[in-house]
Amino acid sequence: MARKFAELITIAPGHHDQRPNVLLVDLDVEAGGLTSRLSQAMRQPFSSFRTAHDVFRERNASAVQAISVTAAVSLASGNPQHRGHLYLMPASQHDDKKLFGVMAEVERDELYGLLQNMIQNLVSQYGISCVVVDCAPSANPYTAAAATLADFPLFIGRNEVLSYEGIRWIPERFREMYPSFQPNAQRVIINMVAVSALYEARAKQHAVFDYIPLSSDVIHETEGLPGTGRLQMLLFEKYIVDIIAKVFIGKNHLIPNPPEVLGKEWMIALDKLTQAERAPRARRLKLLGYLLWPGIVLSLLGIGAVAYSHWIQEIPEGFIRAALVVAAFGIMIIATGWYAEVSRRRLLDTARRLINDGPEGVFRRLKAAASDRQELEFMKRIADTITDQNAIPDQYPA
């Protein structure tokens, strides 16, 4: 969650065409999960860098350095070249000793000051616009200091009894260490919600700020969509962006725009759909639609011949059968032409709605029913067949 928050903010508009640089601080010194994962993504050890644990152990927040992990940014929509840098302050080394001892030894006001000075030094050094601090899932002194220092403390939990109990008692633990901590500033976000009815009942009791559904329950593999995992991650990222927008009110420079979140591939598809009538399928349907009028003519001729045969007794029986065949064939042609024209209009109307709704419309359909997502995939394939279209400026690597 912390990593996705940080990664997505790097594609926000920023100021003066300068995308935001974001600092990730890993304060989970016991596990260092964020540090470990980014180290694996960068395929290099961070053993030569000072860590947050070193800062607290040495009681010295000067001469701190962050690690550029911009190359490890991984978004479902692709990675635009025009994005801010992502930096990491690692938590600790795997072989560090006295992790809990240092945590217990540092006096709380000194701990708060060290954390504040460390962040301020890194912000100044790397031109940071936003700091995301990842804490351990416990009410330890580091987490309490970070929650008190944060402008927007986020409590991330799951739709479980333990998480909802923590909403009540964890802020009180923070206040025991730092009376200035304001529980009302805390935003509660419940992640991986699978049973919405159970969530809604609990959310009313515990003033939950927002939630993120389990994306694999929203977009199921049985739908047969290509790149299901990528679509699930895209949806997950959109929910995070929506939370960022709710939290960062008045800070639009830190809120990613929907086109950036959706990505170049879909933006090109929406752009191409403005010329949906040029798609090969739309052209074929248009040609088939022209069969409507010949079908009407043949049907009228056949029906007219049959009616005429009732007045002329000498008409051979073969003529009547031929007339019936012509009438039936005409009706078949009418049905074909009518179906083709209705299908073409439906295709063009769907394309028009997608264009008018824009990126947010695509996300709404991703969140909706399987039929909506199937329609999206169908329109994406239609867009891929449209050629001779002016390309969107290349903001993404190949």
What pLDDT is stored for residue 388 in this prediction? 59
Cβ atoms of 111 and 140 closer than 8 Å: no
Is a pLDDT exceeding 60 seen at residue 193?
yes
Mean pLDDT of the chain: 89
Handedness of CA 231, 153, 141, 145 (dihedral sign): positive
Is a pLDDT exceeding 70 seen at residue 389?
no
pLDDT, mean of residues 126-140: 93
pLDDT, mean of residues 203-228: 88
The top-scoring range by mean pLDDT among 186-195, 299-308, 388-397 is 186-195
Residue 124 identity (one-letter amino acid)? S
Q: Indicate the fold that domain 2-262 takes in CATH.
A: Rossmann fold (3.40.50)
What pLDDT is stored for residue 355 in this prediction? 95
pLDDT, mean of residues 167-188: 90
**Domain coordinates of the chain in residue numbers?**
2-262, 273-384
Interatomic CA distance for residues 301 and 348, integer angstroms = 33
Q: 279 pLDDT band (50/70/90 cuts)?
A: very high
* Residue 63 φ then ψ, to 5°: 55, 35
Interatomic CA distance for residues 9 and 334, integer angstroms = 55
Q: Which of 230, 196, 180 is nearest to 74 (CA)?
A: 230
This prediction's pTM: 0.86
Is a pLDDT exceeding 80 seen at residue 368?
yes
In sequence order, what DSSP letters do the residues of 105-141 get, joined into one string? Answer: HS-HHHHHHHHHHHHHHHHHHHTEEEEEEE--SS--H
Who wins on pLDDT, 204 or 177?
Answer: 177
Handedness of CA 304, 308, 310, 314 (dihedral sign): negative
Q: What percent of the chain has pLDDT over 90?
A: 58
Q: 310 pLDDT band (50/70/90 cuts)?
A: low
What pLDDT is stored for residue 206 in this prediction? 83
What pLDDT is stored for residue 167 in this prediction? 86
pLDDT, mean of residues 53-82: 90
What pLDDT is stored for residue 398 in this prediction? 39
Is a pLDDT exceeding 90 seen at residue 137?
no
Q: What percent of the chain has pLDDT over 70?
A: 94
Cβ atoms of 256 and 8 closer than 8 Å: yes
Is a pLDDT exceeding 60 seen at residue 372?
yes
In the block, residue with structure tokens 């395929």: 43
When mean pLDDT is compared across 65-79, 209-223, 316-330, the lowest value belongs to 316-330
What pLDDT is stored for residue 138 in this prediction? 82
What pLDDT is stored for residue 383 in this prediction? 95
Is a pLDDT exceeding 70 seen at residue 220?
yes
